[in-house]
Amino acid sequence: SFRTMLRNGCRLALRLNARLVHVVSVIPTGSRQFSSTIKRSSDNLKGKEQNKAFDTSVLEYLVCPLSKKPLRYEESTDELINEELGIAYPVIDGIPNMIPQDARVVNRNEDNPVSGP
Amino acid sequence: MIIRGVQTDADERKTHFGFETVSEAEKTEKVYKVFENVAKKYDIMNDAMSLGIHRLWKDRLLHVMNPVPGTKLLDVAGGTGDITFRFVDYVRFRLRCQTRRELKSRQSLSWQQIAESYGQNESKSLGGSHAIVCDINKQMLKVGKQKAQSLGYTKGVSWVVGNAEELPFDDNKFDVYTIAFGIRNVTHISQALEEAYRVLKPGGRFLCLEFSRVNNPFLSRLYDLYSFQVIPVLGEVIAGDWKSYQYLVESIRRFPEQEEFKAMMEDVGFLKTEYHNITSGVVAIHSGFKL
């Protein structure tokens, strides 16, 4: 909608403005401030990655909703696996989805996981 | 040999969706769709519909909770995170007061020792407190997590998609369980109450903030008028969704009144159950302990 476009436009303008101000302050003074600009933009990227990353501190509370047994976090597939029942709960955007209907069935043989209903 | 129909129990049992009668499976799906639609405009609509008063209700819930640093909170149907953010603010404030008090009493120590005490508190973010926001709706959680990132509520807060009737948490894990404006949307309320009882530690507290019955007949008339004439219109104008807000006001009327809900809590095993009416009963805070 027009309102969201306006809001986004203002936000972009503010962000660009902030960056411009930072660049201007960098030019006269030397390498120390320059390196802080690089650190700032790399922190931004890190922040975005952190959004997607799964915070494993919640694992000490999480269990499978069906069997109430603990889960294992599989980093390669970004899933929480219940070995006993052979099901995997997906982690999307760093948020684990613990609804049993959204879990997929994992074959006992870890090499060929089979997607379930 | 007994031949049974192919239909599952959930398809056969009927329940209410606002003033409609639907099957239980349908209700869960319809409620999901409602919140999926309103997620982005949820906070704005709350402000518009309650004229900002919902903030006071939520503040009141936190005052009743009165959490200390180190508390483990489970915020069910926590959606956009309003209760959790207030919890974090409350705990941070108490932690600051605590730290200040401790430092005052140690004024005779060396600078190094004081610096060390600062380091200790930083590593235990929120002083050991932790809040988990659990909601069945992914859209609401997404909005909540984004809000958290932009407001700075990332340390000590976790987000989990889960069903209040089948919580993905182990027994005896939490000090406080809250459910604010969520329990009336749950298909099987007693099941949600049982799960709440299960995940609470012994001594843990159950807190429910929910719309309830207005006890004053005059105010009740005014409230009905406002609910059925103004709110759906606001819903259409601001969120472009009349039906979802029609469901909202109907679901409020369908929810059991104060004493009945208190009895449901007691049936599940909660003790020292009580409720506080706010705004003449428009909203009520129910509290119970697992003892």
Q: Which residue has the tokens 């988990």?
A: B132
Question: Would you state the structure tokens that stand for residue B250, as one six-digit string?
Answer: 């109907």
Min distance A82 CA to chain B CA atoms (Å): 12
Query: In this predicted model, what pLDDT tens digit does every residue of A33-78 receive, in sequence order?
Result: 555 555 454 444 454 555 567 788 888 899 999 999 999 998 898 8
Question: Would you state the structure tokens that stand for residue A109, as one six-digit string?
Answer: 């043989």
Residue at B260: amino acid letter: E
Q: Is residue B106 part of a domain?
A: no
Q: Which residue has the tokens 């069906």?
A: A66
**Among the listed residues B184, B210, B150, B179, the one whose alpha carbon sits nearest the alpha carbon of residue B84:** B179
Min distance A29 CA to chain B CA atoms (Å): 31
Q: Is residue B189 part of a domain?
A: yes
> A81-117 burial string, b = 16+ CB within 10 Å, else e?
bbeeebbbbbbeebbbbbbeeebbebeeeeeebeeee
Cβ contacts (< 8 Å) between A99 and chain B: which residues? 136, 161-163
Q: Is residue A91 part of a domain?
A: yes
* Domains: count for chain B: 1
Alpha-carbon distance of B99 to B87, in angstroms, equals 18
Q: Which domain holds residue A101?
A: 56-105
Split at pLDDT 50, 70, 90, the class of B159 is very high
Q: Do A95 and B132 touch (CB under 8 A)?
A: no
Q: Is residue A97 part of a domain?
A: yes
Lowest mean pLDDT among A20-24, A49-53, A77-81: A20-24
* Domains: count for chain A: 1
Query: In this predicted model, what pLDDT tens digit does every residue of B163-201 receive, in sequence order?
Result: 999 999 999 999 999 999 999 999 999 999 999 999 999
Point out the residue among A68, A93, A94 whose CB comes nearest to the CB of B170.
A68
Alpha-carbon distance of A95 to A53, in angstroms, equals 9
Structure confidence at residue A116 (pLDDT): 43
DSSP collapsed to 3 states, B114-144: HHHHHHHHHHCHHHHCEEEEEECCHHHHHHH
Q: Is residue A90 part of a domain?
A: yes
Q: Which residue has the tokens 């915020």?
A: B75
What CATH number is attached to the domain comprising B189? 3.40.50.150
**Among the listed residues B42, B37, B41, B8, the one whose alpha carbon sits nearest the alpha carbon of residue B25:** B8
